[in-house]
Structure formats: structure tokens, C-alpha cells
Amino acid sequence: MIDASMSRPVYITTPIYYVNDRPHIGHAYTTMISDVVARGCRLQGRTVFFLTGTDEHGAKVEKSATARGVTPQALADVNAAEFQRVLRLFDISNDDFIRTTQPRHTRQVQAMIKALQARGAITLGTFSGWYDEGQEEYYTETRAKELDYKSPISGKSLIRASEENYYFRLSEFQGRLEEFFNANPDFIQPSGRFNEVRGRLREGLQDVPVTRTNFSWGIPFPDDKRHVIYVWIDALMNYASALGLAWPLARDLGVPSIEGCAGSTASGAGLESDDATLAQLYESRAHFWPAHTHVIGKEILWFHAVIWPAMLMALELPLPKRIHAHSFWIADGQKMSKSMGNFVDLETIDRFVAHYGLDAWRWYMATQGPLQAADADFRASHFHETYTADLVNLVGNCASRVGAMIAKYCGGTLPDDAERGGEWPIRCEKAIVQWREAMDAFDLNAAARAPLELLREIDAFIHHTEPFKLAKDPANLARVESILSQSARTIRVAGVLLAPFLPTKMDELATAFGGSALGPVHAAGSHCNEFDSVVSFHLPKVGVSIAKLALFPRIDIVASA
Ligand code: MSP
């Protein structure tokens, strides 16, 4: 049900992406589905803060940089710029882009670490365990055994490692986490993933090291410069630092600037400005916490579902409302890998976007992607079938057919409807409710199906009532006008609901069918003040011009590379 929580501000985040890699379908997917939800929320009038960014510290980045003969900061600068370029290319409506080398972030990380130390949640000790070098992650004995002492990601052997470290007393949060999970059965989606996390939690929690001494590319540990902060701890804190949640802490604990930590040349409007400006900015952002949804891939769920909530508990901050851990894209039935040459990289994405258009790419991502527990197979033939069935044959065809009939029989303007909409206002209402519930539940497939179903019903309505035959007898004019008015109005409503998925094409539809473009109201920093009226069946006035339009051309399948 749509309830009062719908008026709460919405904070949506993606993972921050490692800068040792170029953007590929995985990054594009997570970002794109988050964008659809962000736009869906803004359209309903909610204020949204949508965050993405880059994760720039750690041994992996240091190693990649060394291999390329550049400094880690230089590598981070190049790849962070590339991620930002791609966001613009895909018209992603993020409200901020955080880079973990920005002083606004590093200062707050140091402050949060200091606070955790002061509360006894971080202490010095010796740690040993099974270490995954690629993932920079330690596993418990039980987990390592389950994994056959091999990395679940790279397949390489885990190594036995031991270090003197500062560590986070995760074990002390076992009871509180269990209680929290019991009280919040929807905390992790899909539910199967939640069960996995709870199963692993029952095995017992071990303390986790939060510093490293074997490399230097990281945020220095406050007051002990031999250590740098473990990249995962630094990274998770981005969700809090972007809103400035630890800014007052940084001030109170006297963390004015980062000694020995490379400042960056990073972008971000006004975000490298003076403290007073930042303080003001952060005041306006704090109310977005707690997060509405952290959108992530399944492989990083443990960090988000267990370590992050425990850190927040220790910092006495409220916990996020939901974590959505989607599955993976595979390609042509196999795991994507660069060596197999089936990796859907930026060039491949560009080829699809150039051929089918950006909206079609978004549509495929949002409706055919691995949002739930199963992986999804990226296949050109499947892409093409989806494009043709949903966008050409249904959305495009329905709009062009009705537009053409209105041109032919009604002089190109929205006719009067003596039947006052018949059953269509109620059907539209039903679709709107389904769409809102599905959007709120992050069920993009169901959210897309609601307007598609309306369009299917309009197709059947036209097929059944045959206005093109009725129009041959002038005595039927009033009936023809009613049919076409009802169809055009319903198509426009469907177009509003499809706008978060197909922002460009649905603006074309809205303006052609007597409404106005919605793009500006679901763009970053904006929201719709009058959703109920925008989505009202009755919005367009009788007599407004209805244009003929060809939204999605019928085209051949994209050529392979
Ligand atoms: N830097 C960490 C995240 C820190 S968040 C506090 C990281 N970065 S990453 O660059 O490796 O990006 C991982 C994310 O990319 C995944 O969680 C997922 O969102 C996305 N994907 C990477 N490959 C993917 C697929 N093949 N399919 C779908 N998404 C996947 O981990």
C-alpha cells in the first residue's frame, strides 16, 4: 500500500566503483536501475538524493597504477573522469559523485574512525586469517573451508596471513544484528539473499581488521601513520560522508585536514570549497539519512548487510531501510570474462546505444536484468526481441496508430468524449497504484508491466471496437471520438509511468499527446509537485493538438563487433 512513508526523502546509492577498471555493463547496470528508481521517486514528488562515485584507495589500485607506471592518484583521476563521462553519456540523474580521495570524504573517514576508537569499537590487536589477495578480504576458517581455500571471485588460492592491525569489534554486534534482522524482514532483497546472510551470521562473527600496513595507498589511520585504513571501511563510509553525517564529528574531534593523504583535483560542484560552504551544504543533506536503498551486486552483500550496519550501530546512526543485492549479467550463457572476449564493455554498450537508442538500452537493463536472485544472460538476439516486442510493437505502434487516426478522423486534435472516459480512468488508476507499489518495492519489472498492460488493453480495445471501420459512417462520429479520446488519454498516462525507464522517448510522447515533458521534473535536484494531476486521465484539454509520431523504428538486429 502507498502510505505516509512515501513522503519521506529518498536516498539511493550505488556501490562506488573501483578505479582500476574501466566502466562496463556491471557498473552501467547498477547505476541505470538506481537511476530508474530515483526518477520514479522524483516523479511521485519525493525529494531524492542519488549518489554514485568511485572507490579509489587500496592495494588493487596501487598495483594497477604501478603496472602502468603512473601514480595511484593519476590513475584514479583518469578513471574517475571516465566514470563521470559515462554517467553523462547515459544521462544518469545522480545528485553527487563522490570520490574517496576527496578531502571532504577522507576527513570524515578519519573522524568516524576516531569516534569508533573512542567508543572502544576499534582496538589494536594481532589478526590472522585466510586472505583473498584479489578481493582484499579475509575469510574465517569455516568460510575458507567452504570455499575450498580458493577465492570465490578469482579462483586463486587464499593465503594464510597475519598482521598487527586495528580491528573493528564486529563480534560484539552479533546479538544486535540478529535482533535487527528479525525486526526488519525486508531489510535485504531478494529474500533468498537475506537467508544466506542470516545463515552466515549464525556461524558467528569475528572481528575484522580495519587497517593495513603492507601498502600506503589509503587514508592514514588517525594518530598512527604506520597504518592506512582498509579500503572497504573507507569505501562503506562514503554513504555517510556524501551527506556530511560526520562533518560535525570532524570539527569536534579536530580533524581539520589530512596530513600525508593526497588531496585530489576531483570535481563535484562546490565540494572542494571552504568549510563554511560545506557545512551549509551538509546541513541541507543530513535529512536524507537513513538511506532508502543501497543498490549493490550480490558479491558485496556481506559488507553492506553486516559490517556497515554494525559500524552504524557503533556510530549511533540509524540503519539503512533496505539493501538490494542484484545478481550478475552473464553473456551468451557464460560468465563474462575479458580473456574469453565475451565481456560487455563500454564499446559494446556504445554499439547497442548507437543502434537502438539510449532508452532502448535502459529498457533492456531494467526489464531483463538480474534484479532478483537469478543471473541474467545478455544476448543480442534477446535484446532485439525485447526491443521489437515491447517498444516497437507495443509502445511505439500503439501511439502511432492512435495519433494517425486522430489526424485522420479528428483533425489532429483531442476530440470530446461524451462517454467521459468509460472504464479507462479506473483502469489507469489501477495501473498507477500497481506501478507505485512496484517502484517502491524496487520491482522494476512489475513497474514496467503496469503501463505495458494498459497499452495492451488499448490495442485490444481498438481491435475490438474498430474505429477505422466505424468512421466510414458519419453517424458514428461521436463513438469514434470517444474511442480515440480514451485511447489517447490512456496512452499518455502509460507514457508518464514509462518515463523513468524511457525518459527521452516518453517526453516525445507526452508533448505529442497533450501533456508536457517530464524530463525536467525527474532530473537531478528536481521533483514533480503535482504527480496526481500529471498522471490524471483527464489532464489534456479537449482540442489540444495530438501529433503523429514514430517513437521506435523497426530496425535490423545490431551487427556483432
Ligand atoms: N568498490 C567496491 C564497492 C564498494 S561500495 C562501498 C566494488 N567495486 S566494483 O567496481 O568492483 O563494482 C562492483 C559492482 O559492479 C557490483 O556490486 C555490481 O553492482 C556491479 N557489477 C560488476 N560486475 C557485474 C556483472 N557482471 N553484472 C552485474 N553487476 C555487476 O566492488
The residue behind cell 472504464 is 423
Spacing, Cα 458 to ligand 1 middle (Å):
40
- Cβ neighbours of residue 152 closer than 8 Å, sequence gap 6 or more: 132, 299
Q: Which of 58-72, 130-144, 248-262, 380-394 has the lowest mean pLDDT?
A: 248-262
Question: Quick one: pLDDT at residue 517?
Answer: 94
Q: How far is CA 73 from CA 104, 228, 321, 459, in A?
A: 16, 16, 34, 56
Find how far residue 469's CA is from the centre of its chain.
Answer: 47
* φ/ψ (deg, to 5) at 14: -105, 170
Spacing, Cα 300 to ligand 1 middle (Å):
8
Note the pLDDT tens digit of each residue in 172-181: 999 999 999 9
Helices marked H in 357-443 — which ranges? 358-368, 380-386, 397-410, 424-440
Is the pLDDT at 286 greater than 80, yes or no? yes
Q: Does the Cβ of 236 fall within 6 Å of ligand 1?
A: yes
Q: Does the Cβ of 325 fall within 6 Å of ligand 1?
A: no
Spacing, Cα 153 to ligand 1 middle (Å):
12
Question: Quick one: pLDDT at residue 257?
Answer: 56
Question: Quick one: pLDDT at residue 263?
Answer: 38
| Contact between residue 230 and residue 301 where contact means Cβ atoms under 8 Å apart | no
Question: Quick one: pLDDT at residue 256?
Answer: 60
Q: Does the Cβ of 29 fall within 6 Å of ligand 1?
A: yes
CATH code: domain 377-534 is 1.10.730.10
CA distance 461 to 453: 12
Q: How far is CA 187 from CA 2, 180, 301, in A?
A: 18, 9, 12
Q: Which run of H or of E encompasses 164?
A: strand 159-168
Question: Quick one: pLDDT at residue 415?
Answer: 98
Spacing, Cα 20 to ligand 1 middle (Å):
12
Q: Does the Cβ of 343 fall within 6 Å of ligand 1?
A: no
Is the pLDDT at 3 greater than 60, yes or no? no
Reduced to 3 DSSP states, what percent helix, strand and coil does the chain have, rounded to the nearest 5?
A: 50, 15, 35
| Alpha-carbon torsion, ordered 402, 403, 406, 407, to 10 deg | -140
Q: Does the Cβ of 51 fall within 6 Å of ligand 1?
A: no
Spacing, Cα 291 to ligand 1 middle (Å):
19
Question: Quick one: pLDDT at residue 267?
Answer: 37
- Cβ neighbours of residue 177 closer than 8 Å, sequence gap 6 or more: 201, 205, 306, 309, 310, 313
Mean pLDDT estimate for the chain: 93
Note the pLDDT tens digit of each residue in 485-539: 999 999 999 999 999 999 999 999 999 999 999 999 999 999 999 999 999 999 9
Closest by CA to 76, choosing from 49, 97, 96, 99, is 99
